[in-house]
Amino acid sequence: MNIPLRQYYQLLINYLRPQRARALSLALLLLASIALQLANPQFLRRFIDTATTGGDPRTLLAIAAVYMVFALGNQFLSAFARYAGEKVGWTATNLLRRDLATHCLRLDMGFQKTRTPGEMIERIDGDCSTLSNFFSQFVVGLVGNALLLIGVLVLLFGIDVRVGLGISAFAIGALVLMFRLRSEASPHWVAVRQVSAEFYGFLGERLSGTEDIRANGAAAYVMRRFHEIVGRWLGLQRKASLWGYAMWQTNIIVFALGTAVAFALSAYLFSRGEITIGTAYLIFTYTELIRRPLDQIRTQMQDLQRAAAGISRIQGLLDTKANIEDGPGGGTTSESGTDAGGGGTIFPAGPLSVDFRQVSFRYEAEEDPVLADLDLRLEPGRVLGLLGRTGSGKTTLARLLFRLYDPTGGEIRLGGRPVLQARLNDLRRRVGMVTQDVQLFHASVRDNLTFFNPSIPDERVLEVLDDLGLRPWLDALPAGLASELASGSGGLSAGEAQLVAFARLFLGNPGLVILDEASSRLDPATERLLEAAVTKALTGRTGIIIAHRLGTVLRADEILILEDGRVLEHGDRKALAGDPESRFHRLLQTGLEDLLA
């Protein structure tokens, strides 16, 4: 993975700047700890030499005391460095996670639909985690360890040139060998990581589809795939672990060799009377001391490689531009008060007119258009009944109005203003949508209704629920508004879920309401509640209802029948119903269910 140094640097600067002081103290702590590690063996040498030459016991005690102080000091420093390191790493990666999550939330539906939740978690959390070490340890750790290594070698050269040369040769040889081994082993680990990511992706998808899988008797098939992946994982894991084991063993042998070299050199020099026993001990200890930096330099290079992969993926994600860009918005903040997104609303107050001008749309570039040259005008306050076979593009039309996607051709206007001009916040506040499948969050009823907006008072929420006839439902919950709901649409019937969606809508004040009716049949009681909710939702607003029931169709002032993304018929409902030639008239005769089933 080749990443320009500038990119590493940029990342470090961006995410360490907010915690400059802490990062700096971390660096100082690590450096101080290195200095102490170098100093400590010197005291031991003095101690041994003083003891073997029959020195003053009080000197011995003094040396021992200083040694203890230094050793304890080193422990404290390490503990603080560890603490600061974790703090720096987590703060930096959390900032990065926040930036990534915010960025992804701004990306459009086209982006979201092509990625599984598992993949997003891996992108936002997994990749950031691999960077934690990079932020907290890498620079200081690598530089520090290199300094420690050089320090030890310099000190050894100071003792005796031959010792210095011998141990240097050993250190270089060990590093080269370990890097070679690692480059052999790392592809195996990459393969393991890949298959584990695949496994969790698979698991996540199947778990979320449990109900369908069981209902369709696909469990055996799923389990076969499960065994297949796990089997592949086992093979790869075994290979990778063997390599890991081999590296570990090699490490042990290499360092045993190092110790042997140190012993041999010391024995030789000691036998010639060139060094004291204390110095022999010092040589031995320093040789032991370079084991850690050697090892850490190796793992840090590995971390760096992992970080590089993470950085390039993160950069890729950050470079993904939303196809849906926020519009410039308007200068006024008139009707609907303040605009959180800056810039005022550009739409007039009250019911909004809807204009589709030669609108075309396709989901994928190569596919046939879902909507083709669609023209439509709906005056403020009118209600349009949108009919059409399944897959004819009804939901798609609603999505375009909401700017979940942008048309590939033509223009959509709302209240006379192009929707592209509006800020997304503004647009989505003025258009209310009740979709076919209502998503609930694992959160309280209150948060589910207000979308986590604490400024809406409880009284208002209760009032809306009362209006919708949802009070008995609420009262049956253990903790009222504070009761936790499960995510998805768990625990609620389709009808209740739709009522909840209406409650969300009433808490805002949209000028256009889009109802994408659930096609499932509801029990009569819920149906009555929903009918009342629809009536209320359409009062004083422009409405587009994608209807699956005759009762709902009859509320419409106009009817539009879509077929293959084109307008098959559009006109006043009563006129169409009275015209025996019209498609709508025939539909009413043969029954809506035929078309809308």
Binding site residues, Mg ion, CB under 5 A: 395
Nearest residue to 534 via CA among 505, 491, 509, 557: 505
113 binds, among ligand ATP, Mg ion, none (CB under 5 to 8 A by kind): ligand ATP
| Residue 49 or 108 with smaller CB distance to ligand ATP | 108
**DSSP assignment, residue 344?**
B
Residue 506, sorted as left (phi over 0), alpha (psi -120 to 50) or beta, turns out to be alpha
**Which DSSP symbol is given to 321?**
P
Which residue among 395, 435, 444, 552 contacts ligand ATP (CB under 6 A)?
A: 395
- Tell me, letter by letter, the H, E, C secondary structure of 195-246: HHHHHHHHHHHHHHCHHHHHHCCCHHHHHHHHHHHHHHHHHHHHHHHHHHHH
Instruction: Judge contact between 137 and 90, C-beta under 8 A.
Output: no
Binding span for ligand ATP by CB under 6 A among 34-42, 332-340, 392-400, 408-416:
392-400
Alpha carbons 425 and 407: distance in angstroms, whole number:
19
What does DSSP assign to residue 436?
Answer: S
* One residue of 394, 446, 541, 549 binding ligand ATP per CB under 6 A: 394
- The size of the chain, in residues, is 597
From 388, 410, 415, 510, residue interacting with ligand ATP (rule: CB under 6 A): 388
113 binds ligand ATP (CB under 6 A): yes
- Interaction partner, residue 158 (Mg ion, ligand ATP, none; CB < 5-8 Å by kind): none
3-state SS record for 122-176: HHHHHHHHHHHHHHHHHHHHHHHHHHHHHHHHHHHHHHCHHHHHHHHHHHHHHHH
Which residue lies nearer to Mg ion by CB, 383 or 514?
514
* φ and ψ at residue 428, rounded to 5 degrees: -75, -15
306 interface partner picked from ligand ATP, Mg ion, none, CB below 5 to 8 A per type: none
Partner whose footprint covers residue 393, from ligand ATP, Mg ion, none (CB < 5 to 8 Å by kind): ligand ATP
- Residues that bind ligand ATP (rule: CB under 6 A) add up to a total of 11
Q: Which two tokens stand for residue 72?
A: 């304890």
Binding mask 55-94 for ligand ATP (x = CB under 6 A): ----------------------------------------
- The DSSP symbol for 330 reads B
**Which one of the spans 33-41, 208-216, 389-397, 572-580 is the region binding ligand ATP (CB under 6 A)?**
389-397
Residue 349 in contact with residue 539, Cβ under 8 Å? no
CA atoms 445, 450, 451, 453: torsion sign: negative
Write down the least CB distance from residue 438 to ligand ATP, Å: 14
| Other beta carbons within 10 Å of 152 | 24
Query: Binding marks (x or -) toward ligand ATP, 311..350, rule CB under 6 A?
Result: ----------------------------------------
User: How many Cα neighbours within 13 Å face the side chain of 523?
Assistant: 5
Min CB(432)–ligand ATP separation in Å:
18
Binding mask 350-379 for ligand ATP (x = CB under 6 A): -------------x------x---------
- Partner in contact with 179, chosen from Mg ion, ligand ATP, none, beta carbon below 5 to 8 Å by kind: none
Least distance (Å) between residue 364 CB and Mg ion? 18
Query: Between residues 113 and 224, which has the closer beta carbon with respect to ligand ATP?
Result: 113
Q: How many CB atoms lie within 10 A of CB 253?
A: 11
- The residue among 278 and 393 lying less far from ligand ATP, judged by its C-beta, is 393
Tokens representing residue 403 in the block: 């700017």
Of 196, 194, 202, 190, residue with least CA distance to 118? 202
Cα 509 from chain centroid?
Answer: 32
Distance in Å, CB of 552 to Mg ion, minimum: 14
Residue 592 in contact with ligand ATP, rule: CB under 6 A = no
396 binds, among Mg ion, ligand ATP, none (CB under 5 to 8 A by kind): ligand ATP
Q: What angle do CA 579, 537, 350 make, to 5 degrees?
A: 95
Which position among 59, 75, 194, 390 is part of the footprint of ligand ATP (CB under 6 A)? 390
> How far is the C-alpha of 225 from the C-alpha of 230, rounded, in Å?
9
Helical segments of 272-404, H only? 277-289, 291-319, 394-401
The CB-of-186 to ligand ATP minimum distance in angstroms stands at 38
Minimum gap (Å) between residue 6 Cβ and ligand ATP = 38
In the complex, what is the shortest distance from the CB of residue 417 to Mg ion, in angstroms, rounded to a whole number? 26
| Residue 23 vs 372, nearer CB to ligand ATP | 372
Of 388 and 415, which CB lies nearer to ligand ATP in the complex structure? 388
284 binds ligand ATP (CB under 6 A): no
Helices (H), 431-470: 445-450, 458-467
Tally Cβ neighbours within 10 Å of residue 368. 10
In the complex, what is the shortest distance from the CB of residue 15 to Mg ion, in angstroms, rounded to a whole number? 43
- The bridge status of strand 542-546 relative to strand 383-388 is parallel
Residue 485 and residue 441 in contact, taking contact as beta carbons nearer than 8 Å: yes
By the rule CB under 6 A, 498 interacts with ligand ATP: no
Q: Does 396 bind ligand ATP (CB under 6 A)?
A: yes
Min CB(449)–ligand ATP separation in Å: 25
Of 37-45, 57-65, 160-168, 393-401: span binding ligand ATP (CB under 6 A) = 393-401
Q: Return the one option of Mg ion, ligand ATP, none that residue 392 interacts with (CB less than 5 to 8 A, by type).
A: ligand ATP
What is the contact surface with ligand ATP in residues (CB under 6 A)?
113, 363, 370, 388, 390-396
